[in-house]
Structure 1
Amino acid sequence: MTKEKYLNRNTYLLSLFIYNLARVLPHAILTVILLNKGMSISDIAVIQSFFMLAAIIFEFPSGFLTDIWSEKFMYQLSLILLGISYFITMVSNKFPILCISWFIYGMSSASMSGSLDSYFIRRAKSDEEIKHINVLINHSTLYSGLIGGGIGSFIYKEINIKIYIISLVLIFFSLILITFIFHPQKNIEKPSNNFENFHNIINDLKQITKQHRLIISIALYGVFEIITQLFFQFWQINFLKQHFTKAYFGLLYILFQVIAILGNSLFSKFDFSKKLPFLVVNIFIFYFSSLLIKNKILFLFLIILFLLPFNLYNNQLVVNIQKESSNKIVASVISLSETISSIVSVIILWIIGILNNHLNFLLIEKIMILIFTLLSLMLIKFYSSNERKN
């Protein structure tokens, strides 16, 4: 690795660490912040829906623009949009303005997806290098998430809404790092003429329909949202049913991050590309079993066991999408997969909301887990039966 490439990689990882630390700092107490601003639970639900709406609208266009313009530019744009969103949240107590703030936050998230990640994936020489890049990125975001989420609630008790000032300073520092120290190498495959580049990317995107393994990988990533939304949107309900008090939720959040870090370490050391069925079956066994258990300690143990294959499976799906994608359109493909995942997430939450009016929530969880397992195993079979096309 050349000195310039090494400097670029480490600058990005440091900038990403600082960005994510700034982003998650208020996350553990977001609901508290909005309640203190006079918002009701219904208001908060609507405000947060604007984030998802923006992500769905801008996710794919942002990836497309990344492929046409510059990964660095989209990363900088994401930081600026996040700074605007957090500044608005800090100074405003009005419901419509907060909805706009969350919409801008969603735009920032969409712009970040596949931005500078794509820069390094394009230049990877092998599938192993793609995997190594993802491991480094995961380490950066997971450790920053652990630190930011862990200390955010404690800082808020002391400085209240001024927690956003710390986030804004960190965002600015991340922007400075990437603007003045990160110097991307030119992509010799990319035409200098934007119109010609646009035309080439459209043609490359049309070829996705012929890349069966890529289509199946994206479909698997979408189906994975069933289990992702089921757990992360409703884990607190299940823990409350097991008689865990709310006082433990902060510690549980830290525990989830630690398990994700452990999963990422295992992912870096072992090859899971041929073990997708094994991971899906373990996700099913441990999550489904946890719903049948009455003992809170055994329940927690099963959740920990569930989260390990959950994180490993998620990491492998991301790598599969990246390695099956053409280098020229990797940002567009990443954003397309994220868009599909966001749409599936919204649909799943709507379905759960509707079914909950007629069925017991525990039964809904069991049905959703079964649907995820059956669909995933079926798609994995199709994935394995299609030879990879280089």
Structure 2
Amino acid sequence: MKNMDNIWKLYAIRFFHSLVPAYVIERLFWEQRGMTIQMVVYTEIIYAITIVLLEVPTGIIADNWSRKKMMVLSAVLWCYMFLILLFATEFWHFSAAIFLAGIARSATSGSENALLYDSLRLSGKEQFFEKVLGRLNVFDFASAIIAALCGSLLASRFDFELNYWISLVSMLVSLCLSLMLVEPSVKSNTDEPIEIKEYIRASLLFFRKNRGVSLLLLSGMVTGASLSFIYEFWQLYLERLDIPVVYFGLFSAAFMLLGLPGNMLAHAMKGWFSYRTLLSGVTAVIAAGFIYISLVKDYTGLAAIFLIGLFAGVIEPITTGYLHHRIDSSMRATMDSFQSLGENAVLMIIGLGFGFFSSRFDIFGGYGFIAFICSVFFVYFVFASKKVVE
């Protein structure tokens, strides 16, 4: 029963972790403090490099030490990040804050999913992992929608700093909830525990032997990294269309609301369609959406962004569930960390191109580069997945 109590605690943690009104005006706040698009991309690369370097080590630590303690550490670092941003005025201030965010993200990425899966597994309910993960994302989105609506109203009436103070308080609540989690005892299918030095070797061997898993995760990495540039830069896109900041919250809420159906129905959709059909279709829509918003510089581009959000909601529950149903609990956080590591490595590579083209052709040129990447990957996935993904 204590293990199942972790579920509602994780729901609450996700809710308060996403109750961040600062995000709705983040790019404007940074721009107000002197941060250009190129400088923001540099911080994104710092974030990605930090995750690439720390994802697997933090996953190993979580598997051997404690998933709960890693989540608590993550919550503490998020609090420090917002505190730094409140007083940031130089590039290195923002870089330091994002560096802490990278450590925080690394500490929790594999730990949260591992703690969730093993909490369900110890109660004999691991088959509901995609369903619960989808609901976690629903709490995530619902909270973010509330934060976006309130944040845009607050930003239109008060200084942007108020949004950051409220966000800091929300992170403190998330920290308190993290302290209430119960560490589930790990059940391993192996006869002996894997030594730390064998974790990376065993993980790489698993991915080498399971090409279908690797390709499916790669699709999630490319699409997930591409979506990050909508989440990070949609405010500048709206500003280029001369949309007042008071409407930013409505846009953010609508975009996240459209992601709910995919998250809620992901567990059912894997029974309606094959993994290959499902991810091929989602990748095609995302590629087409990026092509449109890069070429058409008017309000109809918002519809394309909404379409991307509608189809993208299914990606995380499907790809993460596909992985977790096929790995051993003794390495669950480590293997999940490899997924996040890969996505951020892709994010770093795409970020270089995005920053280059954005600096020359504004935000539309950056999205054009992402459209090219997604289109090329769609063609690759269709042919590569024929025999290895059911």
User: 1:226, 1:372 within 8 Å by CA — same for their partners in 2?
Assistant: no
Q: How is 1:158-169 mapped onto 2 (pairs within 5 angstroms)?
A: 158=158, 160-169=160-169
Query: How many residues align structurally?
Result: 377
**Residue 218 and residue 155 in structure 1: after superposition, are their counterparts in 2 closer, same or farther (change >3 A)?**
same
Q: What amino acid sits opposite 1:106 in the alignment?
A: G
Distance 1:358 1:98 in 2: 23
Aligned to 1:372: 377
Structure 1 residue 381 displacement after superposition = 1.9
Aligned to 1:73: 69
The one of 10, 13, 16 aligned to 1:15: 13
Aligned to 2:347: 345
Aligned to 2:280: 280
Distance 2:328 2:221 in 1: 20
User: 1:88, 1:97 within 8 Å by CA — same for their partners in 2?
Assistant: yes
Q: What amino acid sits opposite 1:348 in the alignment?
A: I
C-alpha RMSD over aligned residues: 3.5
Structure 1 residue 275 displacement after superposition = 4.6
| SS across alignment from 1:324 | coil
From the CA coordinates, give the structure whose radius of gyration is larger.
Answer: 1
Distance 2:84 2:371 in 1: 41
Structure 1 residue 82 displacement after superposition = 0.9
The one of 300, 303, 324 aligned to 2:326: 324
Structure 1 residue 259 displacement after superposition = 0.2
User: 2:109, 2:337 within 8 Å by CA — same for their partners in 1?
Assistant: yes
Cα-to-partner distance string for 1:214-246 (whole Å, 9 max, x where unaligned): 3223322233346435655666787788x5735
Structure 1 residue 85 displacement after superposition = 1.4
Aligned to 1:89: 85
Identity rate, percent? 18
Aligned to 1:291: 292
Aligned to 1:136: 135
Distance 2:102 2:87 in 1: 19
Cα-to-partner distance string for 1:271-311 (whole Å, 9 max, x where unaligned): 35615324523552575277299696765545434432222
| SS across alignment from 1:384 | coil
**Residue 299 and residue 37 in structure 1: after superposition, are their counterparts in 2 closer, same or farther (change >3 A)?**
closer
Structure 1 residue 78 displacement after superposition = 0.2
**Residue 61 and residue 365 in structure 1: after superposition, are their counterparts in 2 closer, same or farther (change >3 A)?**
closer
Q: Which runs of 5+ in 1 are unaligned?
A: 386-390
Aligned to 2:338: 336
Aligned to 1:388: none
Distance 1:98 1:365 in 2: 25
User: 2:37, 2:359 within 8 Å by CA — same for their partners in 1?
Assistant: no
**Residue 32 and residue 330 in structure 1: after superposition, are their counterparts in 2 closer, same or farther (change >3 A)?**
same
User: 1:220, 1:379 within 8 Å by CA — same for their partners in 2?
Assistant: no
TM-score by length of 2: 0.81
Distance 1:108 1:224 in 2: 22
Cα-to-partner distance string for 1:302-349 (whole Å, 9 max, x where unaligned): 543443222223431222122222222121111111111111122123
Aligned to 2:3: 5
Aligned to 1:258: 257
Q: What amino acid sits opposite 1:173 in the alignment?
A: V
| SS across alignment from 1:245 | coil
Q: How is 1:148-159 mapped onto 2 (pairs within 5 angstroms)?
A: 148-156=147-155, 157-158=157-158
Structure 1 residue 260 displacement after superposition = 0.6
Distance 2:82 2:297 in 1: 41
- 1:384 lines up with 2:381 in the alignment: no
Structure 1 residue 71 displacement after superposition = 0.5
Cα-to-partner distance string for 1:170-224 (whole Å, 9 max, x where unaligned): 2222222221x32223225499x99x75256456425413233332233222333
- 1:170 lines up with 2:170 in the alignment: yes
| SS across alignment from 1:280 | helix
| SS across alignment from 1:26 | helix
- 1:198 lines up with 2:196 in the alignment: yes
Structure 1 residue 76 displacement after superposition = 0.3
